[in-house]
Amino acid sequence: MGYYDIYNLRLNRYGSNYLSRMQNKREKEFDQYLSRTVYRVTFSYDGDDQVGSFERYKQNDTQSLHYLLTNVHLNIPNGTILEIPDKDEVLRPWMVYWLERIEASGYNRYIMLRMTHFLTWTARNGSTCSSWAYMYGQEDNMLKDEIRSRSRMDTLYGENLKMSFFVLPTTPLIKKDDYLVIGEKPLQEYYRVTGYDIQSSEGVEYVTVDPVYEFDQTPAPEQEQTDKPEDFFWLNGGIITPSSDDTSEG
């Protein structure tokens, strides 16, 4: 092999043209970075263990938003909940908020939103549903500023500072006036859905809620033959339903 052949072989080490060489070189450099970074984490996705670098968002101390750097070939949809270990190796739920596309970077950089509450509710079809969510209350501008800063997206969502919101993966099972329960007794809280937005961010839903008193969800008693019709007046919508032993003359 001549010197010219060796030169061409080394020149095409990472690809056959300039763009492919730069891309493949940056991917290899990221793999090397991933092997030595102190932010390295292992998490499960799609049934397999994946490796990434879990770093502070914009180099600040926020505990609500983080970066997750992964291999460029790992594609995770918006709204996916990942269990990521903290510094004490305790798994915590984080949601993929969106992917920052950086051309020819050699890695994917996901914006991750920390989940703070576990919601439960009864859907219109009668099934019991649950989901992790991030809650932010009145006069909290953090998420509004982040949403509006995404210049590539025409955000439809606008935050009302007098309301509380949940951010969670998109689900077709939350409707207006649904009753949400969060927390465990005696620290449970109860909310009624006043609106929701599934259009502003793909895979992510914004749910507006109002705090309410606890609903009594025990089933209504069934009217038996020995019960008087007036005892079920309000349960029957203000209509007196004659019992089966009542007789009426035509």
211 preceded by a cis bond (ω within 30 of 0):
no
Per the domain annotation, does 224 fall within a domain?
Answer: no
Question: Are 121 and 99 found together in one domain?
Answer: no
Cα(247)–Cα(243) distance, rounded to whole angstroms? 9
Question: Are 48 and 19 found together in one domain?
Answer: yes
Lowest mean pLDDT among 16-25, 148-157, 234-243: 148-157
Give me the pLDDT at residue 155, please: 47
Q: What is the CATH number of the domain that holds 163?
A: 2.40.10
Cα(146)–Cα(133) distance, rounded to whole angstroms? 17
Per the domain annotation, does 79 fall within a domain?
Answer: yes
pLDDT digits (tens, 9 = 90+) for 154-208: 544 455 556 788 999 999 999 999 999 988 888 888 999 999 999 888 999 999 9
Question: Are 13 and 95 found together in one domain?
Answer: yes
**233: pLDDT strictly greater than 80:** no
Cα(7)–Cα(141) distance, rounded to whole angstroms? 57
Give me the pLDDT at residue 22, please: 75
Tokens of 76: 């995770």
Question: Are 12 and 107 found together in one domain?
Answer: yes
Question: Are 74 and 123 found together in one domain?
Answer: no
Tokens of 222: 């069934």
Per the domain annotation, does 162 fall within a domain?
Answer: yes
pLDDT digits (tens, 9 = 90+) for 35-58: 999 999 999 999 999 999 999 886
Cα(191)–Cα(207) distance, rounded to whole angstroms? 11
* Of 102, 82, 78, 79, the residue nearest 92 (C-alpha): 82
Per the domain annotation, does 218 fall within a domain?
Answer: no
Higher pLDDT: 125 or 114? It is: 114
Q: Is residue 24 helix, strand or coil?
A: helix
Question: Are 126 and 29 found together in one domain?
Answer: no
Question: Are 17 and 93 found together in one domain?
Answer: yes
Higher pLDDT: 149 or 104? It is: 104
β partners of residue 68: 54, 110
Question: Are 94 and 129 found together in one domain?
Answer: no
Higher pLDDT: 218 or 86? It is: 86
Higher pLDDT: 230 or 198? It is: 198
Give me the pLDDT at residue 162, please: 63
Give me the pLDDT at residue 56, please: 87
Per the domain annotation, does 250 fall within a domain?
Answer: no
Give me the pLDDT at residue 200, please: 83
| DSSP at 18 | H
Domain count within the chain? 2
Per the domain annotation, does 227 fall within a domain?
Answer: no
User: Residue 189 sits in which domain range?
Assistant: 117-211
Question: Are 96 and 48 found together in one domain?
Answer: yes
User: Average per-residue pLDDT in the chain?
Assistant: 80
Question: Are 110 and 157 found together in one domain?
Answer: no
Question: Are 109 and 126 found together in one domain?
Answer: no
Query: Residue 250 — very low, low, confident or very high, per pLDDT cuts 50/70/90?
Result: very low
H helix or E strand, kind and range, residue 53: strand 48-56
